[in-house]
Structure 1
Amino acid sequence: MAIRVHRFLPSRLPPPTNTQLTWIRGLWFIALALAVVLDIAGTVFVMRDVYRNDPQFHRLSLTSQIENDGSVTVESIPDVAGVPAVPALSRITAIDGKPVAQDTPVWDLAARLKGKDGQVIALTLVLPDGRSATQRIEVSPRYTEGRDLSPPLGRDGRMAARMIISLLTCMTLIGCAVLLFLRRPQDPVALLFSFSFLLFAGAIDPPLNLWLATGMGNAFDVYTTLAWALLVIGIAAFPDGRFTPRVVRWILVVAPLMMIPLAIDEVPVWISVAIAFILPLFLLICHVIKYRRFPPGIERQQVKWAAFGFGSGLLLLTLAFFLVEVLGPEPLNGLIILTLFNAGFLAMAIGLLISLLRFRLWEADRVISRSAISAVVTLAVGIVWTLSMDFLKLGAEWVLGRESETAATLAGAILAAGIFAPTQALAMRWAKKRIAGDESRIQKLVGRLHVWRTTEMPEEIGVRTLSALSAAVHCNGAALLVDGPRGPQLLAARDVEQADELGRPSYDPVADPRFPLTLPLEDEDGPIGQLLIGPRSDFNRYNAAQLDGLNAMTEPLAETLRASLKRAQQAESISMQMGSVEERLARLEQNGPRLSPT
């Protein structure tokens, strides 16, 4: 039984074989083509819907909403006087007595609503409670006059912002999927994320409305839930395909089962949000366990970036769905929700792309920590300021009377400007010092060099220096050469294969591809050696702070090595002299007069 369970639920996702990769590659290209086609077709549909279909509804004081089955519901434009109120989720069943089928596409319904200015159209509606009502509404552009042109809610401005944000998200998802597939085709985790991002790119805005308008809401539900299942399994198996702890491998069963309630429209929104976004957050606990089990190095940084991207993305998506239920139907609110929704997908894609492609992973500590500290400080200051404002209002009412809102507001402004703003600045300055960068670590090394020059031998200084540099700049290898009577000599090496070659007289460090950085060690007395630095362990270029720190360290290191080497030579000379003296004394004792035993 244990063998069957093990075979049914593997503890690690195996890499695809060459045969499997052949048909996986075909499926991937189909998913890529479908995502691109859906994005283009969805963009065209949204443009035509906004500039051709919506105006016909607006001229009758109505707004339209495409439902999951492709049908169209309407409601009155808010704050329009002189027209009958039409509640949300109402359906048009007849226009001037001519019946309208429920499955009429939005573009056909908009065409049938066309009328000349001043024409009165009789609309027969089925209200959400099942009652039928006939409303006579005059066709007029006055219902939306001033609304489409007033900043920042102008129609063109909203449309431009929506298209830029949505298409940027779709292109990011597609680009991330392409890079993952091209760079890691035999990584099962990268394949899961690549397929998931392609499916999501063809399902979010702008293709979203196209799915619904064509009556393919059920297919859309299956499409998006499949993308969600692939994403969740990929999160659970990240980064090496192992399910840690082993109980997490049951996600291979749970994720497909959770697709069922997610695909059912009748399931309450809060349940769907909990399943889709909140439950995957608990999988990040697995990342904490994996992080603790990995040794310090590249794997830990990968887990950090992935957890940061997944965590922030899922939280943004949860917030977006929460605001849908809280905010009203104003256009600006819709743009805010759309921005949060797309930002969630961008965060997951960018965090994962940086993690798997190992791009600037060692900057994760500062990015994540400073972002978290900034958010906590801002939230704490906001809460304290809000409570202080309430207490100030109560105190002002008690002292000056109830008509003292102006005094309380003025006191709150003084409090914010004089106390909380400087407090927040001090907290952020403390956080910046607390989270030290590579340059500060190298400065600490320079300070230690001045101590080592009088206490440590050259070999010990070399070993300690390379160890400190490895932690500061995260190099994949390093070596330290010093000038000797017969040419450069190897003083110390770290994580370098065939290090003995570095001490050969014919060795040229500039021509060695293992060391992209060759820094001369030189002080006021001249050159003394060379510091060889290998590539970063995430295979990215050294940033400006790291290069400046390394260049600033070479002179103190040269001075320390020169002083230590001179002290070592003096100690060796004294040791040789002492040895010579001891040898002469021994000879004298051997050749001197011997005492008689009697």
Structure 2
Amino acid sequence: MAIRVHRFLPSRLPPPTNTQLTWIRGLWFVALALAVVLDIAGTVFVLRDTYRNDPQFHRLSLTSQVENDGSITVESIPGNTGVPVVPAMSRITAIDGKPVAQDTPVWDLAARLKGKDGQVVALTLASPEGQSATHRIEVSPRYAAGKDASQVISRDQRMTARMFISLLTCMTLIGCAVLLFLRRPQDPVALLFSFSFLLFAGSIDPPLNLWLATGMGNAFDVYTTLAWALLVIGIAAFPDGRFTPRVVRWILVIAPLLMVPLAIDEIPTWINVAIAFILPLFLLICHVIKYRRFQPGIERQQVKWAAFGFASGLLSLTLAFVLVDVLEQSPINGLIVIVFFNLGFLAMAIGLLISLLRFRLWEADRVISRSAISAVVTLAVGIVWTLSMDFLKLGAEWVLGRESETAATLAGAILAAGIFAPTQALAMRWAKKRLAGDESRIQKLVGRLHVWRTTEMPEEIGVRTLSALSAAVHCSGAALLVDGPRGPQLLAARDIEQADELGRPSYDPVADPRFPLTLPLEDEDGPIGQLLIGPRSDFNRYNAAQLDGLKAMTEPLAETLRASLKRAQQAESINLQMGSVEERLARLEQSGPRLSPT
């Protein structure tokens, strides 16, 4: 039985056949159309709900919340006086004596609550404990006015920020899904992520509210858990479709089974959160093993970008869920949670897209190091600011003779600003020294050239230079030509097929598509050759720092080659003269008088 299960679980996801790709393409277009329709419909619903439905509740000093089953719960707007206090999770059971069904949609309930200013509405409310009470509340815009006046950011500004970040996330997920499907249709990992992103694009904000308001909470749970399962299977098989280590292949069985508790609302939230985040985190840790098994090159950089995106995304999503329990319910806090939630999906989608499409893979080290340093510095400053607030309040009370919240907050902001900027600058300078970039590697090469010019032969300098350039700018191939009596001659080549062609008299490097960069080698004495650079190994353009570094090292390389070639010619001339002298001595010994042995 164990052997059958072992054979049943593949060690690698096979690419789809042409027949399979036909129906996969049909399913993908359905998922794409559904995501687009849900995003558009969700956006329309959120705007109508904010500007048409919510005001009807606010005019009665209430705020509404759509539950997973589509029912509506209400509570009082905090801070309003002269109105009854309605506890959270209460339900409206009757309006002016007319019963209200629990499954009444929010738009119908808002229409029934609509009244003229000054009109008194009798609301029968059932508390979470089951107690029922009838309250007579006057319809008035002053409740909402007081609510908006207490907010730092107005309703329109909050809605603009929310729609911008939410729609940006949805469009990014859809865009990534489309690019993955078009660029890598035969890659099973890319297909898994493409489907997952489309499903998530149709289930996060703003479509999320539409799912709940229409009473399709159960379908929403299945929809999102399917997206989660596809995501974790894709993470397990990333980037080449292989499950490494071999135990990871069991994710093909575990992920569908874990969809069941994730889709059940009665399961405690902490269990669902643990399942949703711990399993992807475990898979990311497993990628450390896969990373070490890869040789330095493209595969390692792909793992770096993907791990950076997923780690950042999971951290942001975890922070969003933590803030839901920590922060008080308010519009501005809700906006903060939405921002972190969407940033999590943005980070995962962008990191994975860069990895699979191999876009700027070699910039991963610099981006990851700077992001990590900025995060650590920001966290440290936040901790210092939090710890200092109590001391600042005591200081303000001692100086002003009373507690001054404004003075303490202002002093804390000044302290945080004074610490953040210089600390971040110091950290970035330290990182620049410790985490050398392409510019630093080329500068080290220039320093070594001055040593090699007096110790190494031209061929050895060429080989070492091309090896150093390959590590510095990640070129897929390179060659070094020097001017000779009969034209350019090949001095050294690295990872170039049919390199002998480069030494032909008729060879034109500018017309060779294998070398997008042709750099002349010239010093004060004139030109001496050419440095031919192939495309980057991730097939992206060289960045500005790499181009500047390459141009800056051409003159030192030309000087080194000229000095080494001259020294090699002198050594060759001396060797020829020594050979000639030895040949003459040998002739003299053969033709000279011979002594008798007796």
TM-score, normalisation: structure 2: 0.95
Q: Would you say the 8 A contact 1:147–1:153 is kept in 2? A: no
Q: Would you say the 8 A contact 2:381–2:416 is kept in 1? A: no
Gap change, CA 1:125 and 1:399, over 3 Å in 2? closer
1:414 and 1:332 map into 2 onto residues whose CA distance is 23
Task: Classify the secondary structure of the residue corresponding to 1:146.
Answer: helix
Q: How far off its partner does 1:432 sit?
A: 2.3
Q: Would you say the 8 A contact 1:277–1:315 is kept in 2? A: no
Once the two structures are superposed, what CA deviation does each residue of 1:83-125 show, in whole Å capped at 9, x if it has no partner? Answer: 1111111111111111111111111111111111111111112
2:68 and 2:50 map into 1 onto residues whose CA distance is 19
The range that moved more, 148-157 or 499-508, is 148-157
Q: How far off its partner does 1:322 sit?
A: 1.1
Gap change, CA 1:420 and 1:77, over 3 Å in 2? closer
Q: How far off its partner does 1:149 sit?
A: 6.5
1:549 and 1:312 map into 2 onto residues whose CA distance is 31
Partner of 1:48: 48
Q: How far off its partner does 1:158 sit?
A: 1.1
Gap change, CA 1:394 and 1:170, over 3 Å in 2? closer
Q: Would you say the 8 A contact 1:392–1:412 is kept in 2? A: yes
Q: Would you say the 8 A contact 2:377–2:423 is kept in 1? A: no
1:413 and 1:335 map into 2 onto residues whose CA distance is 22
1:426 and 1:361 map into 2 onto residues whose CA distance is 27
Once the two structures are superposed, what CA deviation does each residue of 1:417-444 show, in whole Å capped at 9, x if it has no partner? Answer: 8878645532332122222221111111
Gap change, CA 1:455 and 1:170, over 3 Å in 2? same
Gap change, CA 1:423 and 1:165, over 3 Å in 2? closer
Gap change, CA 1:54 and 1:415, over 3 Å in 2? closer
1:241 and 1:168 map into 2 onto residues whose CA distance is 29
1:79 and 1:66 map into 2 onto residues whose CA distance is 22
Gap change, CA 1:141 and 1:400, over 3 Å in 2? closer
Once the two structures are superposed, what CA deviation does each residue of 1:488-546 show, in whole Å capped at 9, x if it has no partner? Answer: 11100011111111111111111111100000001111111000000000100001111
Partner of 1:576: 576
2:288 and 2:597 map into 1 onto residues whose CA distance is 81
Q: How far off its partner does 1:218 sit?
A: 0.6
1:448 and 1:68 map into 2 onto residues whose CA distance is 67
Q: Would you say the 8 A contact 1:278–1:314 is kept in 2? A: no
Q: How far off its partner does 1:391 sit?
A: 7.8
1:556 and 1:513 map into 2 onto residues whose CA distance is 27
2:593 and 2:291 map into 1 onto residues whose CA distance is 76
Gap change, CA 1:351 and 1:132, over 3 Å in 2? same
Once the two structures are superposed, what CA deviation does each residue of 1:371-411 show, in whole Å capped at 9, x if it has no partner? Answer: 21232244345546766777899999999999999999999
Gap change, CA 1:384 and 1:202, over 3 Å in 2? closer
Task: Classify the secondary structure of the residue corresponding to 2:239.
Answer: coil
Gap change, CA 1:385 and 1:222, over 3 Å in 2? closer
Partner of 1:146: 146
1:162 and 1:403 map into 2 onto residues whose CA distance is 36
The range that moved more, 403-412 or 49-58, is 403-412
The range that moved more, 70-79 or 552-561, is 70-79
Partner of 2:358: 358
**How many aligned positions are there?**
598
1:408 and 1:596 map into 2 onto residues whose CA distance is 115
Q: How far off its partner does 1:278 sit?
A: 3.2
1:402 and 1:120 map into 2 onto residues whose CA distance is 44
Gap change, CA 1:150 and 1:124, over 3 Å in 2? closer
When the two chains are superposed, the root-mean-square deviation of aligned CA atoms in Å is 2.5
Gap change, CA 1:572 and 1:348, over 3 Å in 2? same
Q: Which runs of 5+ in 1 are unaligned?
A: none
Gap change, CA 1:377 and 1:156, over 3 Å in 2? closer
Gap change, CA 1:65 and 1:378, over 3 Å in 2? closer
Q: Would you say the 8 A contact 1:381–1:424 is kept in 2? A: no
Q: Would you say the 8 A contact 1:370–1:432 is kept in 2? A: no
2:546 and 2:356 map into 1 onto residues whose CA distance is 23
Partner of 1:70: 70
2:112 and 2:380 map into 1 onto residues whose CA distance is 55
TM-score, normalisation: structure 1: 0.95
Gap change, CA 1:391 and 1:581, over 3 Å in 2? farther
Task: Classify the secondary structure of the residue corresponding to 1:64.
Answer: strand
1:111 and 1:409 map into 2 onto residues whose CA distance is 44
1:410 and 1:35 map into 2 onto residues whose CA distance is 46
Q: How far off its partner does 1:153 sit?
A: 2.5
The range that moved more, 129-138 or 146-155, is 146-155
Q: Would you say the 8 A contact 2:382–2:416 is kept in 1? A: no
Task: Classify the secondary structure of the residue corresponding to 1:283.
Answer: helix
1:85 and 1:413 map into 2 onto residues whose CA distance is 36
Q: Would you say the 8 A contact 2:374–2:424 is kept in 1? A: no
Q: Which runs of 5+ in 2 are unaligned?
A: none
2:374 and 2:277 map into 1 onto residues whose CA distance is 24
Q: How far off its partner does 1:279 sit?
A: 2.9
Once the two structures are superposed, what CA deviation does each residue of 1:438-467 show, in whole Å capped at 9, x if it has no partner? Answer: 111111111111111011000000000000
- Map 1:461-480 onto structure 2 (within 5 A): 461-480=461-480
2:448 and 2:28 map into 1 onto residues whose CA distance is 54
Gap change, CA 1:556 and 1:288, over 3 Å in 2? same
Q: Would you say the 8 A contact 2:378–2:420 is kept in 1? A: no
The range that moved more, 40-49 or 374-383, is 374-383
Gap change, CA 1:504 and 1:2, over 3 Å in 2? farther
Task: Classify the secondary structure of the residue corresponding to 1:307.
Answer: helix
Gap change, CA 1:467 and 1:335, over 3 Å in 2? same
Partner of 2:491: 491
Q: Would you say the 8 A contact 1:32–1:174 is kept in 2? A: yes
Q: Would you say the 8 A contact 2:477–2:496 is kept in 1? A: yes
Task: Classify the secondary structure of the residue corresponding to 2:146.
Answer: coil
Gap change, CA 1:41 and 1:400, over 3 Å in 2? closer
1:529 and 1:58 map into 2 onto residues whose CA distance is 78
Q: Would you say the 8 A contact 2:64–2:72 is kept in 1? A: yes
2:528 and 2:111 map into 1 onto residues whose CA distance is 85
Q: How far off its partner does 1:165 sit?
A: 0.9
Q: How far off its partner does 1:199 sit?
A: 0.2
1:393 and 1:89 map into 2 onto residues whose CA distance is 36
Q: Would you say the 8 A contact 1:70–1:214 is kept in 2? A: yes
1:525 and 1:365 map into 2 onto residues whose CA distance is 39
The range that moved more, 155-164 or 453-462, is 155-164
Gap change, CA 1:22 and 1:391, over 3 Å in 2? same
Gap change, CA 1:568 and 1:436, over 3 Å in 2? same
Q: Would you say the 8 A contact 1:105–1:213 is kept in 2? A: yes
Q: Would you say the 8 A contact 2:360–2:538 is kept in 1? A: yes
1:321 and 1:24 map into 2 onto residues whose CA distance is 34
Gap change, CA 1:412 and 1:16, over 3 Å in 2? closer
Gap change, CA 1:140 and 1:262, over 3 Å in 2? same
The range that moved more, 171-180 or 281-290, is 281-290
Gap change, CA 1:89 and 1:399, over 3 Å in 2? closer
2:323 and 2:551 map into 1 onto residues whose CA distance is 51
- Map 1:332-481 onto structure 2 (within 5 A): 332-380=332-380, 382-383=382-383, 422-481=422-481
Gap change, CA 1:8 and 1:160, over 3 Å in 2? same
The range that moved more, 376-385 or 353-362, is 376-385
2:584 and 2:127 map into 1 onto residues whose CA distance is 118
Q: Would you say the 8 A contact 1:177–1:198 is kept in 2? A: yes
Q: Would you say the 8 A contact 1:147–1:154 is kept in 2? A: no
Gap change, CA 1:189 and 1:409, over 3 Å in 2? closer
Once the two structures are superposed, what CA deviation does each residue of 1:50-95 show, in whole Å capped at 9, x if it has no partner? Answer: 1111111111111111111111111111111111111111111111
1:391 and 1:146 map into 2 onto residues whose CA distance is 33
Q: Would you say the 8 A contact 2:501–2:507 is kept in 1? A: yes
Task: Classify the secondary structure of the residue corresponding to 2:35.
Answer: helix
The range that moved more, 143-152 or 233-242, is 143-152
Q: Would you say the 8 A contact 1:449–1:556 is kept in 2? A: yes
Q: How far off its partner does 1:30 sit?
A: 0.3
Partner of 1:522: 522
Q: How far off its partner does 1:162 sit?
A: 1.0
Q: How far off its partner does 1:596 sit?
A: 2.2
